[in-house]
Amino acid sequence: MTKGNINVSVENIFPLIKKFLYSDHEIFLRELISNATDATLKLKHLTNIGESKVEYGNPQIEVKVDKDAKKLHIIDQGLGMTADEVEKYINQVAFSGAEEFLDKYKDAAQDAGIIGHFGLGFYSAFMVADKVEIITKSHKDEAAAHWTCDGSPEYTLEEANKTDRGTEIILHIAEDSTEFLEDSRISELLLKYNKFMPVPIKFGTKTETLPKPEDAKEDDPAPTQEVENIINNPNPAWTKLPADLEEDDYKNFYRELYPMQFEEPLFNIHLNVDYPFNLTGILYFPKMSADMQIQKDKIQLYQNQVFVTDNVEGIVPEFLTMLRGVIDSPDIPLNVSRSYLQADGAVKKISSYITRKVADKLKSLFNNNREDFEAKWDDIKIVIEYGMLSEEKFFEKADAFALYPTVDGTYYTYEELFNKIKAKQTDKDDKLVILYASDKDAQHSYIEAAKVKGYEVLLLDSPIVSHLIQKLETTKENISFARVDGDHIDNLIKKEDTAISKLSEDEKKSLDELLKEVVPSEKFMVQLEAMDSDASPFMITQPEFMRRMKEMQQTGGGGMFGMGNMPEMYNLVVNTNSELVSEILNTKTRKKQERLINQSLDLARLSQGLLKGQELTNFIKRSYDMIK
């Protein structure tokens, strides 16, 4: 037997480790299983290239809890270690790794910036155990070794009589860590970190129902048997080649990742690069609900099939954090803060690769099956519009697939829309005017009025649309967006024939005076317009500019114009060619004129959803009186 002192300069490193890594004790299991996996895959490689003569077989990793003896065992059938190798890899490598780690992170570990996943390795066993044993038999023809260490720099190393190849790690679980002696806790950790590791992991048994024997009676219970419980899928879909997967494989994998999700994903994107960095993965577009926050943190990050985190902020561009799925890359540095991550060159490349890949996929979906893409547009537009706003590269690419639906359900690309309306919808400066509605029901009368004139009206109803159109107006040449109930379309669009006014100049003047006396001037700017005689007599509009600024303030991005409290100001457009307006002018008594104006004004407000409370009650009462 050998006794020795581990060569570390820190007198007793273990309490320090415990303290620094306090919140993340559970990662010890992931580290030990990663080591067991490495040892197994190394042996596979050695047997493949003929360097090891042993039979590789079907190795497994087994996790066993011995609650009574307060021990946790992790057993592998990998390449094992000779006594010399234990000296070298455990006493020197593992421990020096830990020391180096501490040196590096003594200060940083307290700063919340550290994401808490670092490859501390074998050493992390001491976060939960006050004594650790290694019993290991190398694939080489040498005696097994037994190493024991109680958490001080002292260890013992002696011969053991283990005969089968591989390594068993035994943790004597400390008093403050007995949670790791609970089956349920271990199961939970295995499912969290090891669900897709490449070597089968066995934990306990499960009950399997067998078919009933021929002669069984109707209500005899079906026989059962206890079978090994393998907790992982060693060959998850993302590790395979896209060419080897069918649509159903992707859907099944989605279910495996999110067993509680009943909704099918809309489509998937298989990521697969090995140069200039290594990255594989599958991203899914789920059906989006209006609540984007809830959907965050659903993409899982793996390193070589080991779960690392489901917080991919900084790695995946923000607008794609609403997606689900897996990315796996050994090239993402994990032991650094988030702000560092965002500045890291390799990570930036990964992020822009993902953006490009998503854009390419959307483009090919659009080209291959436009009808299907249009049908899904409502569910994916939030992500796409958000991406167009936040990533310049994505904005450029999105021209090929971003859709602009009309109120009647025709979907145009920007180019198609442009060609469709360029002949008809221009303003006095020859700028293209893109009319849109944000709510089909609330703006119904305005939409109809525009359609009667043969204009195209888009339906743009996502919450960030005011930002998006602002962006389009500044990037595309010579266009402006106008909501149908904004400034009146007759003022917006250059018309070849201006309607002739039925009223004389004198009549117009007295109408104007009358209206200004009755209509409250602090709320409405009265505008007289000679429109078609069957257009609405009174119409309320809100200047596009003012409304949009308000919306942008509400959805963030406000403040920049310094308009904290813009007044509620509307236009009241009065159609001087309507019969009602002539009637108001020709009504003899002043009282009756006022009543007609107020009634008309209220109707106009009603159609904009602006009539509420006491005013609405008064309006209804007045209406009944009038029809009595």
Contact residues for Mg ion (CB under 5 A)? 35, 121
**Part in contact with ligand ADP (CB under 6 A); list of ranges 93-101, 145-153, 285-293, 598-606:** 93-101
Q: Which of 93, 292, 336, 580 binds ligand ADP (CB under 6 A)?
A: 93
For residue 391, the partner it binds in Mg ion, ligand ADP, none, with Cβ less than 5 to 8 A by kind, is: none
- Please choose which of Mg ion, ligand ADP, none residue 331 contacts, taking the beta carbon within 5 to 8 angstroms, the exact cut-off set by kind: none
| Burial 166-183, CB ≥16 within 10 A → b, else e | bbbbbbbbbeebeebbee
Cis? peptide before 276, omega within 30° of 0 = yes
CA distance 155 to 165: 23
| Residue 558 interaction partner, one of ligand ADP, Mg ion, none, beta carbon < 5-8 Å per kind | none
In the complex, the smallest distance separating the C-beta of residue 140 from ligand ADP, rounded to whole angstroms, is 12
Build a one-symbol-per-residue string for 148-167: x at contacts with ligand ADP by CB under 6 A, - elsewhere: -------------------x
Which residue's C-beta sits nearest to ligand ADP?
A: 121
Amino acid type, 248: D
Tell me how far apart the alpha carbons of residues 137 and 368 are, in angstroms, rounded to a whole number: 57
CB of 68 to ligand ADP, least distance (A): 25
Return the bridge partners of 412, or none.
404
Closest CA to 305 of 327, 335, 282: 327
- What sign results for the dihedral spanned by CA atoms 155, 161, 164, 165? positive
Choose the binding region for ligand ADP from 118-126, 148-156, 510-518, 562-570 (rule: CB under 6 A): 118-126
Cα 595–chain centre separation: 55
> In this structure, what token pair is assigned to residue 468?
């998006």
- 537's contact among Mg ion, ligand ADP, none, with CB below 5 to 8 A by partner kind, is none
**Residue 59 touching ligand ADP (CB under 6 A):** no
Burial, 83: exposed, middle or buried (Cβ in 10 Å; 0-12, 13-18, 19+)? buried
Cα of 281 vs its chain's centroid, Å: 15
Cα atoms in the Cβ-side hemisphere of radius 13 Å centred on 317: 25
CA-based nearest residue to 256, from 238, 269, 272: 238
Distance CA 64, CA 202 (A): 9
* Total residues found in the chain within this entry: 628
382 lines the binding site for ligand ADP (CB under 6 A):
no
Terminal Cα-to-Cα distance of the chain (whole angstroms):
111
Pairing of strands 166-173, 129-137: antiparallel
93 binds, among ligand ADP, Mg ion, none (CB under 5 to 8 A by kind): ligand ADP
* Nearest residue to the partner Mg ion, using Cβ: 121
Residue closest to 420 by CA, chosen among 438, 433, 408: 433
Nearer to ligand ADP, 80 or 325 (CB): 80
Strand runs labelled E in 454-501: 457-459, 479-483
* Least distance from Mg ion to the Cβ atom of residue 189, Å: 16
Query: Which CB atom, from 121 or from 317, has the smaller least distance to Mg ion?
Result: 121
- For position 537 contacting ligand ADP by CB under 6 A, the verdict is no
Distances (CA, A) of 164 to 59, 63, 80, 343, 523: 12, 17, 10, 48, 89
Choice between 145 and 403, CB closer to ligand ADP: 145
**3-class DSSP state of 100:** helix
Residue 197 in contact with ligand ADP, rule: CB under 6 A = no
When CB distances are held under 5 to 8 angstroms depending on the partner's kind, the choice from Mg ion, ligand ADP, none that residue 39 binds is ligand ADP
Q: By CB under 6 A, is residue 90 in contact with ligand ADP? A: yes
Token pair in block for residue 411: 């979907």
CA distance 179 to 183: 9
By CB under 6 A, name the one of 33, 52, 77, 78 that touches ligand ADP: 78
- Distance CA(571)–CA(524), nearest Å, equals 5
Helix (H) / strand (E) containing 571: strand 570-575
Interface pick for ligand ADP out of 94, 170, 181, 402 (rule CB under 6 A): 94
CB of 50 to ligand ADP, least distance (A): 20
Q: Least CB distance from residue 227 to Mg ion, whole Å?
A: 30
Is the CB of 27 or the CB of 81 nearer to ligand ADP? Answer: 81
Q: How far apart are CB 137 and ligand ADP at their closest, in Å?
A: 10
76 is an interface residue for ligand ADP by CB under 6 A = yes
* CB closer to Mg ion out of 35 and 82: 35
CB closer to Mg ion, 122 vs 366? 122
Query: Cβ of residue 31: shortest distance to Mg ion, in angstroms?
Result: 6
Contact region for ligand ADP (CB under 6 A) — 72-80, 221-229, 275-283, 336-344? 72-80
Question: Which listed range, 64-72, 119-127, 303-311, 440-448, lies at the site for ligand ADP (CB under 6 A)?
Answer: 119-127
Can you point out the beta strands (E) in 369-493? 404-405, 411-412, 432-437, 457-459, 479-483
Please identify which residue in 6, 27, 102, 121 interacts with ligand ADP, judged by CB under 6 A: 121
Nearest residue (CB) to ligand ADP, 121 versus 317:
121
Are 461 and 468 in contact by the 8 Å Cβ rule? The answer is no
Helix, strand, coil abundance in the chain, percent, nearest 5: 40, 20, 35
Least CB distance from residue 123 to ligand ADP, whole Å? Answer: 6
Residue 483 DSSP SS3: strand
Question: Considering the rule CB under 6 A, would residue 35 count as an interface residue with ligand ADP?
Answer: yes
Q: Which CB sits closer to Mg ion, 102 or 573?
A: 102
Least Å from the CB of residue 101 to ligand ADP = 10
Q: Which is nearer to Mg ion, 121 or 486 (CB)?
A: 121
| Residue found by looking up tokens 């004790």 in the block | 25
With CB under 5 to 8 Å by kind, the binding choice for 314 among Mg ion, ligand ADP, none is: none
Measure the CA–CA gap between 41 and 622, rounded to whole angstroms: 85
DSSP, res 94: I
- Find the shortest distance in angstroms from Cβ 124 to Mg ion: 9
Footprint of ligand ADP on this chain (CB under 6 A)? 31, 35-36, 38-39, 76, 78-81, 89-90, 93-94, 97, 119, 121-123, 167
